[in-house]
């Protein structure tokens, strides 16, 4: 038996390519993190260690895929990575892009666990799933990000109410029932939750991008690295309104 006679099996492979000239979003999400967060005793509803670990892994993605990933937004056990419209990462092969990002994120999560959870052992290997979606315009990519940030806000409002009710000795079922179909804004007032005093990371999620570095300045520092952009920063900001995007026009530059 020789190699050549087996080569035909390759014809069964097929590469699904992401549409050219569109923004690619790779969204990853922790698998069964309901259980993972229970077993690792995450603080409820928000655990700073867990959120900062997620952020740290996302920074690692922006550093590794620095030519392609221009922005990331994360909340809870999920992260969205935006690839440049003109990215040609893996010739835009969906399987390659998704699997490379998910596996690098996951192994970084495991490697850095101890940096954030010094007192608690990682009890079993976490996993993340991932998907890629193409968005054809800057307007739609902005709407995508707004959708995730609104989701962050609503979930955080809900969870704040839920755990406040549980803290006031309601059962989880009672808490759930009293929030069913309720206007969360009203509930927050009723329960005397000082919502705006909650850490901004819980309310806004985390946004990551590369600081634009002055070309001239960089040229002085290192003649050769004109291609390598600035420092990666993590911020907790409003990405729904126009302000941030007006101040950072280069991020979603067409």
Give me the phi and psi of 118, to 5 degrees please. Answer: -60, -35
User: Quick one: which of 215, 246, 237, 234 has its CA closest to 52?
Assistant: 234
Under DSSP, the state recorded for 77 is T
Check residue 205 for interaction with ligand DGT (CB under 6 A): no
- Distance, in Å, from the CA atom of 209 to the CA atom of 80, rounded to the nearest integer, reads 12
Question: Which span (44-52, 114-122, 187-195, 210-218) binds ligand DGT, by CB under 6 A?
Answer: 44-52
DSSP string, 147-188: HHHHHHHHHHHHHHHHHHHHHTT--HHHHHHHHTT--HHHHH
Distance CA 191, CA 182 (A): 13
Among 33, 65, 109, 209, binds Mg ion (CB under 5 A): 33
Helices 48-64, 94-116: inter-axial angle, 10-degree rounding:
140
In the stretch 58-97, what mask flags binding to ligand DGT with x, by CB under 6 A?
A: ------------------xx--------------------
Instruction: For residue 160, state whether it binds ligand DGT (rule: CB under 6 A).
Output: no
Q: Distance between CA 115 and CA 102 in Å, rounded? A: 20
Instruction: Kindly indicate which of the ranges 14-22, 26-34, 170-178, 231-239 contains the residues binding Mg ion, using the contact rule CB under 5 A.
Output: 26-34
Question: Per-residue x/- mask for Mg ion, residues 217 to 246, rule CB under 5 A?
Answer: ------------------------------
Residue 105: name its binding partner from Mg ion, ligand DGT, none (Cβ under 5 to 8 Å by kind). Answer: none
Min dist. Cβ of residue 30 to Mg ion (A): 4
When binding is defined by CB under 6 A, the residue of 47, 67, 151, 238 that contacts ligand DGT is 47
Choose, by CB under 6 A, the member of 17, 31, 52, 133 that binds ligand DGT.
31
CB 240 within 8 A of CB 150: yes
Residue 43 beta carbon to ligand DGT: minimum distance, rounded to whole angstroms: 6
Q: Cα 149–152–156 angle (5° rounding)?
A: 150
Query: Binding partner of residue 46 among Mg ion, ligand DGT, none, CB under 5 to 8 Å per kind?
Result: ligand DGT
Partner that binds at residue 37, options Mg ion, ligand DGT, none, CB closer than 5 to 8 Å by kind: ligand DGT
Q: Which of 77, 161, 207, 232 binds Mg ion (CB under 5 A)?
A: 77
CA dist., res. 92 & res. 74, Å (int): 23
| CB 93 to ligand DGT: min, Å | 25
Cα-based torsion angle of the residue sequence 149, 229, 211, 73 in order, rounded to the nearest 10 degrees? 10
- List residues near Mg ion by CB under 5 A: 29-30, 33, 76-78
């Amino acid at each position: 038996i020789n190699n050549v006679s087996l080569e035909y099996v390759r014809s069964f492979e097929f590469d699904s390519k992401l549409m050219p000239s569109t923004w690619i979003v790779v969204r990853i999400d922790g698998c069964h993190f309901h259980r993972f967060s229970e077993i690792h005793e995450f603080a409820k509803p928000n655990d700073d260690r867990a959120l900062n670990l997620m952020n740290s892994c996302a920074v690692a993605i922006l550093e590794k895929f620095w030519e392609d990933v221009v922005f990331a937004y994360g909340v809870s056990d999920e992260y969205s990575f935006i690839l440049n419209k003109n990215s040609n990462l893996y010739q835009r092969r969906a399987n390659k892009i998704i699997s490379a990002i998910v596996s690098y994120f996951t192994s970084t999560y495991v490697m850095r666990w101890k940096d954030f959870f010094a007192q608690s052992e990682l009890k079993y290997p976490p996993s993340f799933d991932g998907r890629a979606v193409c968005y054809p315009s800057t307007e739609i990519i902005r709407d995508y990000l707004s959708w995730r940030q609104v989701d962050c806000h609503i979930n955080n409002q809900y969870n704040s109410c839920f755990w406040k009710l549980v803290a006031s000795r309601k059962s989880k079922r009672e808490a759930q029932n009293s929030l069913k179909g309720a206007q969360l804004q009203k509930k927050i007032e009723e329960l005397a939750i000082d919502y705006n005093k909650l850490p901004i990371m819980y309310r806004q999620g985390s946004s990551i991008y590369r600081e634009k570095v002055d070309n001239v300045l960089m040229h002085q520092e290192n003649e050769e690295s004109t291609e390598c952009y600035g420092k990666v920063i993590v911020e907790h900001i409003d990405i729904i309104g126009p302000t941030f995007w007006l101040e950072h026009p280069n991020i979603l530059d067409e």
